[in-house]
Amino acid sequence: MNQRGCNLQVRPPRFNYYVQQRVVFDLFLPAFLPRLNGREARRHRFAMKISVITATLNSAEFLSECIASVLRQEDGEVEHIIVDGGSTDDTLQIARSSPHLLVVVRPGCSIYEAWNIGLDVATGDLIGFCNSDDYYAPDAFAPIRQQAAARLDAWMISGKAVRFAHRPAGNEVILGEHFDKVPNRLHFEDLDVFGPAPNARFFTRKLISRIGKFDTRFRLGSDCSYLMEIALLRLPVAHVPDVVYYYRSHGKSASLGGNIDGLATGLDEKLMIANEFMRKHRLQPAELRHLRRAMAVQLNSTIIEAVRAGHWRLAATLAGRMRLLGAAGPIAVFGETCRVACRFVAKRAGRLAQGRGHA
């Protein structure tokens, strides 16, 4: 296999054969050895290989930082797979200048098709996904491996993610931090359903084998659907308290850049995913309420962004999406609107009080 060549022919049976071997190991060993400690845990940790999959398409601006963040992980063996959708800028030159990368070129493939191609060729025990405009924290993989070695019963290892943006003045602004509400547990009602999804998580091979590949019908929301399926199973998971991943919010970002057309497309996909999910699964009342509230949050936030950008006609069109929330939709949207208004008033009052204090 040519690490530096393009148009690499991917053979899915290789992945399936490997999965069969790994799943037998991962499913049955935890029953006899659910925890490892001390020297045994350290030895098993260093034996764990991590595969990172990155989808690229004209990603030259930030790709070098993404590659460097994976390369500087010094704890154990790491495999980094770049799947390119047919870039016309310097993306492939940057990727091919790093001989350690496995570069696969598939013109026209979407991000989720690229991730699925990466799954076909990945050989790691743990699999992560790094967007081409994001990066991993220094030494992020060490605690992930340590938890995976100590918790062989865990199907997924998760850490914290930070969302940031660069301002015109050159300073970096933290926009938010994302992490599981309850450590070492991922139930559906705990999930930030449509928030930044899988990138601060590492999936075991037995989990990939059980859930399957990403749904390629969607352009922006298939990772959310993937995590929803996982959360509904209530499988044992492990958690690290460290920041593992950094999401970059910028104008070209499809999901985090604030582009109003991208937000509207993402909203339609997420509402479609949620409705399909409700039809497919018999959700418990708490799970159903949680999903409808998540839909209301997405609808409200997208309408607010449209109004801020002056797209009043689009905002009115988006308001019509409320019917997709079902009979309880108006109540959910009204409740979320009240919460947003209360947060705004409290924030405004705090600023006024701070100003008076300085005066």
- Residues 292 and 331: their CA atoms lie apart, in Å, by 10
Q: What are phi and psi of 263, to 5 degrees?
A: -65, -40
- φ/ψ region of 268 (left if φ > 0, alpha if ψ in -120 to 50, else beta) reads alpha
In the predicted model, is pLDDT for residue 83 greater than 60? yes
Q: Which of 16, 223, 230 is nearest to 112 (CA)?
A: 223
Half-sphere exposure of 41 (CA within 13 A, CB side): 16
277-286 burial string, b = 16+ CB within 10 Å, else e? bbeeeebeee
> How does pLDDT run across 255-264, given as a tens digit for each residue?
544 566 677 8
In the predicted model, is pLDDT for residue 97 greater than 80? yes
pLDDT value of residue 337? 59
In the predicted model, is pLDDT for residue 121 greater than 90? yes
In the predicted model, is pLDDT for residue 11 greater than 50? no
In the predicted model, is pLDDT for residue 201 greater than 70? yes
pLDDT value of residue 95? 97
Q: pLDDT category, 302, cuts 50, 70, 90?
A: confident
Of the given ranges (133-147, 224-238, 280-294, 317-331), which has the lowest mean pLDDT? Answer: 317-331
Which token pair is 58? 């004209």
Residue range 35-43: average pLDDT?
A: 50
Q: What are phi and psi of 159, to 5 degrees?
A: -130, -165
Q: Is the pTM of this model over 0.85?
A: no
pLDDT value of residue 94? 97
pLDDT value of residue 122? 98
Of the given ranges (42-46, 83-87, 118-122, 265-269), which has the lowest mean pLDDT? Answer: 42-46
Of residues 133 and 32, more confidently modeled: 133
- Residues 151 and 241: their CA atoms lie apart, in Å, by 15
Of the given ranges (13-22, 38-47, 138-147, 191-200), which has the lowest mean pLDDT? Answer: 13-22
Residue range 153-174: average pLDDT?
A: 89
CB 42 within 8 A of CB 149: yes
pLDDT value of residue 16? 47
Pairing of strands 126-129, 102-105: unpaired
In the predicted model, is pLDDT for residue 78 greater than 50? yes
- Residues 242 and 225: their CA atoms lie apart, in Å, by 25
- Residues 118 and 91: their CA atoms lie apart, in Å, by 17
Of residues 186 and 168, more confidently modeled: 186
Share of the chain above pLDDT 70, in %: 74
| All structural domains of the chain with their residue ranges | 12-248, 260-358
Q: What is the mean pLDDT of the chain?
A: 82
Long-range contacts of 233-236 (CB under 8 A, 24+ apart): 234/186, 234/187, 234/188, 235/155, 235/156, 235/186, 235/207, 236/151, 236/153, 236/154, 236/155
Residue range 79-92: average pLDDT?
A: 97
pLDDT value of residue 267? 86
Supply the DSSP string of 195-226, one letter for each residue.
Answer: SS-STTEEEEHHHHHHH-S--TT-SS-HHHHH
In the predicted model, is pLDDT for residue 167 greater than 70? yes
Of residues 303 and 222, more confidently modeled: 222
Cα 184 to Cα 32, 187, 265, 279: the distances in Å are 20, 10, 33, 29
CB 233 within 8 A of CB 281: no
- Residues 74 and 221: their CA atoms lie apart, in Å, by 32
- φ/ψ region of 170 (left if φ > 0, alpha if ψ in -120 to 50, else beta) reads left
Residue range 308-337: average pLDDT?
A: 71
In the predicted model, is pLDDT for residue 135 greater than 60? yes
Q: Which of 59, 112, 50, 57 is nearest to 81 (CA)?
A: 50
- Residues 27 and 69: their CA atoms lie apart, in Å, by 31
Q: pLDDT category, 92, cuts 50, 70, 90?
A: very high
CATH of domain 12-248: 3.90.550.10
- Residues 104 and 96: their CA atoms lie apart, in Å, by 10
> How does pLDDT run across 52-75, given as a tens digit for each residue?
999 999 999 999 999 999 999 987
pLDDT value of residue 259? 65
